[in-house]
């Protein structure tokens, strides 16, 4: 039978989640500050464009779950810095596709490498956790959806 969850344990889990995320993003955040004040949102864009070459802006909006208005300023900055280029799709000239430049690839690789090292150290150093279990838990958290009350 599953462990009984109480509020104190869940509040502790929230704290661990915050502290873990802060630690996980600290390295990339520091690297980004040295690149003309880029931030975490720029990293997310670089990350998903790297994993999805020639992604359309609409597809990126769906992945990031943000509005066009929210995506426009950071994406524009990445294009101005020549880290990402925007090209028209060969199959449909109305669709803009995003591609990392060589500089964009190098920056994204540096950012993601710090996080890969971080996770590798965490999973190697932990006796009680497996990557499979952690991924299942993260998936369950993401699928349970936001509990937003208005």
pLDDT digit string (tens) for 62-119?
999 999 999 999 999 999 999 999 998 888 888 999 999 999 999 999 999 999 999 9
**Distance of alpha carbon 94 from alpha carbon 91, whole angstroms:** 9
Give one word for 82, left, alpha or beta, with left for phi > 0 and alpha for psi -120 to 50: left
Using alpha carbons, list the distances in angstroms from residue 144 to 137, 140, 147: 11, 6, 8
DSSP string, 73-86: HHHHHHHHTTSEEE
> Whole-model pTM above 0.95?
no
Give the per-residue pLDDT at 3. 58
Give the per-residue pLDDT at 123. 85
Torsion angle, alpha carbons of 104, 109, 111, 114, to 10: -170
Dig out the tokens for 65 from the structure.
């779950």
Residue 1 has pLDDT above 60, yes or no: no
* H or E element that contains 55: strand 55-56
Dig out the tokens for 57 from the structure.
């802006």
**Distance of alpha carbon 109 from alpha carbon 46, whole angstroms:** 9
Give the per-residue pLDDT at 78. 97
Mean pLDDT, all residues of the chain: 90
Share of residues in the chain with pLDDT > 90 (%): 63
For residue 109, give every residue at least 6 positions away whose Cβ sits within 8 Å of its Cβ, in sequence order, or none: 50
Q: What pLDDT band is residue 23 in, cutting at 50, 70 and 90?
A: very high
Q: What pLDDT band is residue 15 in, cutting at 50, 70 and 90?
A: very high
pLDDT tens digits, one per residue of 46-59? 999 999 999 999 99
Starting at the edge strand found earlier in the chain, the sheet holding 55-56 runs 55-56, 96-100, 84-88
Give the per-residue pLDDT at 150. 43
Give the per-residue pLDDT at 20. 93
């Amino acid at each position: 039978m599953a462990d009984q969850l109480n509020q104190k344990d869940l509040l502790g889990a929230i704290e661990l989640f915050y502290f873990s995320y802060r630690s996980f993003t600290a390295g990339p955040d520091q690297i980004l500050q040295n690149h003309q004040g880029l931030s975490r949102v720029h990293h997310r864009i670089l990350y998903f464009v790297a994993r999805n070459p020639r992604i359309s802006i609409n597809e990126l909006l769906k992945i990031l779950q943000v509005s066009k208005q929210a995506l426009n300023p950071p994406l524009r900055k990445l294009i101005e810095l020549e880290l990402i280029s925007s090209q028209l799709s060969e199959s449909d000239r109305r669709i803009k596709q995003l591609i990392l430049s060589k500089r964009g690839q190098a920056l994204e690789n540096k950012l993601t490498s710090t996080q890969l090292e971080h996770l590798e150290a965490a999973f190697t150093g932990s006796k009680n956790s497996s990557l499979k279990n952690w991924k299942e838990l993260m998936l369950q958290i993401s699928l349970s959806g936001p509990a937003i009350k208005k």
